[in-house]
Structure 1
Amino acid sequence: MERTPENGIPRTPVTADDVALAVRLAVAALREAPAGAWDVPAGSLEWDCWETAEHLADDLFAYATQLGPAAPPLDGNVPFVCESRRPGGPANAVHADRAAGPAGLLQVLEASGALLVAMARTTPPHVRAYHVHGVADPEGFAAMGVVETLVHTHDLARGLGVPWDPPAGLCARVLARLFPDAPGPADAPDPWRTLLWATGRADLPGRPRLTAWRWDARPRP
């Protein structure tokens, strides 16, 4: 365990195993959704559940491939073509074949997650690559993938009507890695609720819901 930051959240590194766990739990939860429910809005998002799951798969794919080149880019994203399938929809490089149904969509999500797991596990820790919220190391990309998975599965679970309650330890690790200014356990003892607050999806006692937020992807000391 690394040193504890000022907010009191212990700094245990985020690993490839954390990405694997987050994706595995998310896919298991989403498999319980009714097959015909994927066209409803995903929580408070403007996208439907199918689009949101594609966006999540695209996030995981993008984080994996950002680490892929022999010299990862430090000033921009790897230039995949990203396209929306409708006005206002997410602009993705990854799209699932609608004919494959929800089972195929979740297979796309699993595959994208597996790419990030592999890159987070095999990329040397000194490697750096661009992200709009700070040039990051492999741990940072792993943590970003976990946050995307946890919070977008929350959005999906609200739309699809399935339960979703990720492990507290997983939430605490990504909070400490990406949100060093978030309240610590003394002020906010539920790390999942704190993560939802930090990503604009919930309020905390004495703290209004955020209308703008961002994480800090830069490596921690």
Structure 2
Amino acid sequence: MSAPQQPAPVTADDLDEVVRLAVETLRQAADPAAWDAPAGSLEWTCWETAEHLADDLFAYAVGLGLTTPPLDVYVPFAMESRRPGGPENSVHADRAAGVTGLIQVLQSSGALLAAVVRTAPPHARAHHGFGPADASASAAMGLVETLVHVHDLTEGLGLTWDPPADVCARVLSRIFPDAPSGNDPWPTLLWATGRAELPGRPRLTRWRWHNELPSQQS
């Protein structure tokens, strides 16, 4: 009997593809007023959520690029919230640049993470509360943030978001090894991140991913 086929790894190419699709989708919401609506089930506005996503991608990139000790801390870029209850970010878009500028900030943060993932040495690790992340896990973290926050954004903006099933499957395999099988990858990823129900499985109220290398996952 042959050994079960291992899923393809998560790569910088996956990041490039999903960020490109996200940008193409979000550009459809050109009215600045629409971006002040809540993003799906989040308490943040669509503008704040897009900034938070850009900040996540930036943070994962700079974390993976850190090669001198201490390596068990986040890179200490200053963070601030622009209002009580808003996200604390290092990355903020200039409101004067409008929606076009906001999406440029998002796209450039995604490109930065993809570039760092491509060039990171095998021993590189980014600090994270869910465990140290190698390049593949860092790419998967960026993809999770992009996939689900664009879902939040499109709910708030009245757009449609249907990301590639193969990328969702690779992300699930890499950092959600305990996710149930038997359902399409995209609904499963929404379930794994507390955004949807699956048949026989209620919506999660707490969730996490696992950055360990597949050989280290139990």
TM-score band by shorter chain is over 0.9
Q: Distance in 2 between matches of 1:149 and 1:79?
A: 23
Which consecutive residues of structure 1, in runs of 5 or more, have no partner in the other structure? none
Identify which of 48, 51, 66 aligns with 1:51.
48
Q: Distance in 1 between matches of 2:129 and 2:64?
A: 14
Identify which of 63, 67, 89 aligns with 2:64.
67
Alignment partner of 1:96 is 2:90? no
Q: Distance in 2 between matches of 1:69 and 1:178?
A: 21
The residue number in structure 2 matching 1:172 is 169
Alignment partner of 1:12 is 2:4? no
Q: Distance in 2 between matches of 1:62 and 1:209?
A: 28
The residue number in structure 1 matching 2:190 is 196
Matches within 5 A, 1:18-167: 18-35=14-31, 36-71=33-68, 73-167=70-164
Whether the 8 Å CA contact 1:73–1:129 is kept in 2: the answer is no
Once the two structures are TM-superposed, the CA of residue 18 in structure 1 deviates from its matched residue by 0.5
Whether the 8 Å CA contact 1:66–1:73 is kept in 2: the answer is no
Whether the 8 Å CA contact 1:72–1:129 is kept in 2: the answer is no
Once the two structures are TM-superposed, the CA of residue 125 in structure 1 deviates from its matched residue by 2.1
Whether the 8 Å CA contact 1:43–1:155 is kept in 2: the answer is yes
Give the residue type in structure 2 aligned to 1:69: L
Q: Distance in 2 between matches of 1:72 and 1:39?
A: 41
Q: Distance in 1 between matches of 2:208 and 2:171?
A: 13
Once the two structures are TM-superposed, the CA of residue 72 in structure 1 deviates from its matched residue by 6.4
Give the residue type in structure 1 aligned to 2:173: A
Give the residue type in structure 2 aligned to 1:215: W
Question: Over aligned residues, Cα RMSD in angstroms?
Answer: 1.4
Whether the 8 Å CA contact 2:67–2:124 is kept in 1: the answer is no
Deviations 1:143-164 (A, max 9, x none): 0001100000000000001110
Q: Distance in 1 between matches of 2:124 and 2:65?
A: 10
Of all paired residues, the percent bearing the same amino acid is: 67
Once the two structures are TM-superposed, the CA of residue 28 in structure 1 deviates from its matched residue by 0.4
TM-score normalised by structure 1 residue count: 0.93
Whether the 8 Å CA contact 1:66–1:72 is kept in 2: the answer is no
Once the two structures are TM-superposed, the CA of residue 4 in structure 1 deviates from its matched residue by 5.5
TM-score normalised by structure 2 residue count: 0.94
Corresponding residue pairs, total:
212
Spell out structure 1 runs of 4+ moving beyond 2 A: 69-74
